[in-house]
Amino acid sequence: MKLTYEDKVEMYRLWKEDHYSSIRLATLFKCDRTSVTYIVKLIDIHGISVVQKKKNREYSAEFKEEAIRRVLIQHESIKQVSLSLAIPSKGTLSLWIK
């Protein structure tokens, strides 16, 4: 299930204000726990605007190459690179690498 902007905002609010666990949020929003923790960390780092409604973002070849290089050459984790570059989906960088 694809999460809406409103879902992500509510998920973040429940995490921060009501102290819901990632398991409880995953059940509530019908997604996996890693998606919950990724979204929360993404918002913590870049602010709520990072999950705003946007058309599909297009990334330049140079941007993708740099992200892939950081994982394959510099041995940074996929999650760390994705979060630092504000890539909105935790699986996007994995797809680029494949």
- How do the pLDDT tens digits run along the chain, 98 residues long? 689 999 999 999 999 999 999 999 999 999 999 999 999 999 999 999 998 877 678 899 999 999 999 999 999 999 999 999 999 888 999 999 99
Residue 89 resides in a domain: yes
* Structural domain span for residue 82: 61-97
Are residues 67 and 85 in contact, defined by beta-carbon separation less than 8 angstroms? yes
- Residues 10, 44 within the same domain: yes
- Residues 36, 9 within the same domain: yes
Residue 93 φ/ψ region, left for φ over 0, alpha for ψ in the -120 to 50 degree band, beta for the rest: alpha
**pLDDT for the residue 32:** 94
Instruction: Give the span between the Cα atoms of 65 and 70, in whole angstroms.
Output: 9
Counted domains in the chain: 2
Phi, psi of 79 (to 5 degrees): -60, -45
Please, what is the angle between helix 22-29 and helix 5-16, to 10°? 150
Q: Quick one: which of 20, 58, 55 has its CA closest to 39?
A: 20
**pLDDT for the residue 1:** 67
Q: How many Cβ atoms from other residues are within 10 Å of residue 51's Cβ?
A: 22
The structure's pTM equals: 0.87
Residue 56 resides in a domain: no
